[in-house]
Amino acid sequence: MRISQPFGSRATMSETALPQATPTQVALTHGADFHEEPKTLVEGAYQRLRRDIIEGVHAPGEKLRVEHLKERYDVGAGTLREALLLLVTDALVVAQGQRGFRVAPISIADFEDITRTRVLLETEALRQSIACGGEDWEAGVVAAFHRLSRAEQRLADHDVGTTQEWEIRNRAFHEALIAASGSRWIRHFQHILYQQSERYRRISLFRQPIARDIHAEHQALFEATMARDATRATSILTEHILRTLDAVKRMPADFFTNRSMR
Amino acid sequence: MRISQPFGSRATMSETALPQATPTQVALTHGADFHEEPKTLVEGAYQRLRRDIIEGVHAPGEKLRVEHLKERYDVGAGTLREALLLLVTDALVVAQGQRGFRVAPISIADFEDITRTRVLLETEALRQSIACGGEDWEAGVVAAFHRLSRAEQRLADHDVGTTQEWEIRNRAFHEALIAASGSRWIRHFQHILYQQSERYRRISLFRQPIARDIHAEHQALFEATMARDATRATSILTEHILRTLDAVKRMPADFFTNRSMR
DNA sequence: GATCATTAAAATCTCGAGAAAATATATTGA
DNA sequence: TCAATATATTTTCTCGAGATTTTAATGATC
C-alpha cells in the first residue's frame, strides 16, 4: 500500500504537506498477522496462542507456564518463549522478569479506556481517509462492506459457525475505512486496540447474544463515508464503537474476575 | 500510580463516569523501562540495545546479526534474540521471518507521522490531566519542571555532558504533564512515540545544535497547565512538538538515508 | 494457632550445538 | 559480457539440558 498523504484538516494541526513515503518504508505491525502463512515455528505458535487468548481459551490473568504450553503447541521451550514475547507487543501477554508470563488481565476500566482511545484514533483516521482517500480506497471500502453485509445476512438467517467469519469481515471493514489515513502509526495503534476489544467482545458475546441492529449501523457508516461527510461519519463511528462498550458494561460483574493463581 | 478517572470533556465522547481501576491493573509498558534495574540478562541486553539504537550506534536500516551482537552485549544467541524481540514492541527493530532483524528505518515522512500522532495523543492526554489531575499530579508537574529548568540552565552555561541529563528530564516533564490522564493506553502509545522521536532528535541534534529558546516554551507550557487553561496549554504543546519537526525537516536530505546492506 | 526459617519442588532463564534457510561465491554455457 | 546453475558460506531458527530463581512444603519456635 504505502500511502502517504496530508492529514485531514484539524484546527490544531498545521497545514503543511506531507512528503511521499520513502521506498524503504516497512510495515509497523510485525510479520505474523492474522491469516498470514507462518514462516517460522515461532510465528505459528504466536498465531495459535493469540487466537486462544482472544477466544478465552487461556483466561485473563492466567499464568502461562512454558513447560506446560510447549506440549499443547508442540514447540520447544525457547521457541514458545519467543512467541510469548511477540504477544507482549500486542499487550495480550504481560511478562515479569524472573516470574514468567501471564495473560493480560481484563477489567471494565480497561475496556472503557480501550474503547475511548479507539474512538479518538479511529475517528481521526477516518477523517483523514475521507479527506485523502482515492478511488482505490473507495473500492476497498465498497468491497469490504459488501462482504460484511453478506456475512451479516447469513448471521441473521442461520447463525451457526458464521460468527468467526463475521468477526474477520467486521475487522476488515473497519480497517478498510481507515486504510487511506496516511498515518501508519494511527493504523498500528488502532490495530492493537481493535484486537484488545475483540477479546472483550468474544467472551461477552459468548454469554449474551447481540440485541442491536449492527447491520443498520454499518450501513449508515458506509453511506456517510461514501458521501464524504466526515462529520456525520465520525459521529456514527463514535456511537457505533461506544455501543459495544455499553453492551459489555451490562455484563455481570463477575465476568471481569481475573484468574490469579498466585 | 494506578490512576483512573473520567476522560476530559470532548464533544465526541459521551460523558459517562469511568469506574475505578481494578487492583489487578498491570503496567502496559513492559518491565524493563529506562533506568530500571534489569532483573534478567534479556532485560539488560534489551536496555543497552535500545540505548544504542536511539543514540544511533546502530544505524537505521542496519542489519542486526545475532552472532556478531552476542559478543558486544556478552550474552548467548537465544538471549539476544529475545532482547531483539522485545525491541520489536517499541518498533525500534523490525523482524522478518527467516531473515533476521534490522534497525527500524527512518524517513522524513515517518517522523512527520510520529510527530502529528504524538500531538493528537499528547494534547488529548494533557486535556484529561488538566481536567482530572489532583494535587499529586500538580506536585509532580512542579517538581519535573523544576528539575528540567535546572538542567536547561546548566545546558546554557557550560554545555558539556548535560544533554543526556536534559533528555531524561525533558521526557520526565512531558510524562508528568499527562500523568493524570487516566488513559493507560494513551500514555502507553505516547511513550512509544516519544521514544521514536527521541531517536530522530538525537541524531539530528548531533549535527545541528538547537537554535530555539526551548526553556521559554517549557515555561509557557508549564504556566498554562498550572493555570488549568486547557486550550492554551494544548495549543502551546502542539506548537512545541511541531517545532522539532520543523527543525528536523531542515536537515540535509542524506540524513534520512538508511543502511541497506542487502 | 501463627510466624518464621529451612528444605524440596517447580519454573524460569540461559547457553551452545545442530538443522534449515538465505545469501554469497564460483562455475558453466550462450 | 551476461545470465543461469551449482556449490560454499553465512545466518537464522530450533531444541534440550544445566544453572538460577521463585514458589511451595515442611518443620521449629514462640
Residues A112 and A97 in one domain: no
Residues B135 and B197 in one domain: yes
Residues B156 and B236 in one domain: yes
Residues A249 and A173 in one domain: yes
CA A155 to C1' C11 (Å) is 45
CATH of the domain at B170: 1.20.120.530
Residues B160 and B198 in one domain: yes
Residues A82 and A194 in one domain: no
CA A107 to C1' C12 (Å) is 28
Last residue of a domain, one of A52, A83, A103: A103
Q: What is the DSSP string of B93-115?
A: EEE-TTS-EEEPP--HHHHHHHH
What is the H or E stretch that residue B259 is in?
Answer: none
Tell me if A11 is assigned to some domain.
Answer: no
Of the partner residues A25, A39, A108, the one whose CB lies closest to the CB of residue B19: A108
Could you tell me the residue range of the domain that residue A54 belongs to? Answer: 41-103
Residues A94 and A112 in one domain: no
In this predicted structure, what is the pLDDT of residue B45? 96
CA A153 to C1' C3 (Å) is 65
Residues B81 and B133 in one domain: no
Query: Which stretch of A2-6, A72-76, A99-103, B151-155 has the lowest confidence by average pLDDT?
Result: A2-6
How many C-alpha atoms does A78 have within 13 Å on its Cβ side? Answer: 9
Does nucleic acid strand D have an atom less than 7 angstroms from the CB of A134? Answer: no
CA dihedral A48, A51, A56, A59 (to 10 degrees): 50
Residues A70 and A169 in one domain: no
Last residue of a domain, one of B60, B86, B103: B103
pLDDT in tens, A202-236: 877 766 655 678 899 999 999 999 999 999 999 99
Residues A114 and A243 in one domain: yes
In this predicted structure, what is the pLDDT of residue A136? 96
Tell me if A2 is assigned to some domain.
Answer: no
Per-residue pLDDT tens listing for chain B (262 residues): 323 333 333 333 333 333 333 334 556 664 445 567 888 999 999 999 999 999 999 999 999 999 999 999 999 999 999 999 999 999 999 999 999 999 999 999 999 999 999 999 999 999 999 999 999 999 999 999 999 999 998 888 876 778 888 899 999 999 999 999 989 999 999 999 999 999 998 877 766 655 678 899 999 999 999 999 999 999 999 999 999 898 888 888 777 888 775 5
Residue of higher predicted confidence among A166 and A36: A166
Tell me if A95 is assigned to some domain.
Answer: yes
Please tell me if residue B19 touches chain A, with a CB cutoff of 8 Å. yes
Does nucleic acid strand D have an atom less than 7 angstroms from the CB of A262? Answer: yes
> In which band, very low, low, confident or very high, does the pLDDT at A26 lie, cut at 50, 70 and 90?
low
How far apart (Å, rounded) are the C-alpha atoms in residues B88 and B225?
Answer: 34
Tell me if B212 is assigned to some domain.
Answer: yes
Distance between B181 CA and the closest CA of chain A, angstroms: 11
Please tell me if residue B89 touches chain A, with a CB cutoff of 8 Å. yes
Which residues on chain B are in Cβ contact (under 8 Å) with A195? none
Q: In chain A, pLDDT over 70 holds for what percent of residues?
A: 83
How far is Cα of residue A14 from the mean position of the Cα atoms in its chain?
30
Please tell me if residue B20 touches chain A, with a CB cutoff of 8 Å. yes
Cell numbers 453478506 correspond to A150
Q: How far is CA A241 from CA A116, A191, A246, B217, B252, in A?
A: 9, 14, 9, 37, 44
Last residue of a domain, one of B59, B83, B103: B103
How far apart (Å, rounded) are the C-alpha atoms in residues B172 and B27?
Answer: 17
How far is Cα of residue A29 from the mean position of the Cα atoms in its chain?
12
Total number of domains constituting chain B? 2
CA B42 to C1' C7 (Å) is 30
Residues B97 and B180 in one domain: no
Residues B56 and B81 in one domain: yes
Whether the CB-CB separation of B129 and B136 falls below 8 Å is answered with no
CATH of the domain at B71: 1.10.10.10
Whether the CB-CB separation of A180 and A187 falls below 8 Å is answered with no
| Sequence-separated (6 or more) residues with CB below 8 Å from residue A179 | A1, A3, A129, A133, A137, A140, A141, A187
Mean pLDDT of A113-136: 97
Tell me if A20 is assigned to some domain.
Answer: no
Residues 104 to 143 of A: which have CB under 8 A from any B CB?
A: 104-105, 107-110, 112-114, 116-117, 119-121, 123-124
Residue of higher predicted confidence among A198 and A161: A198
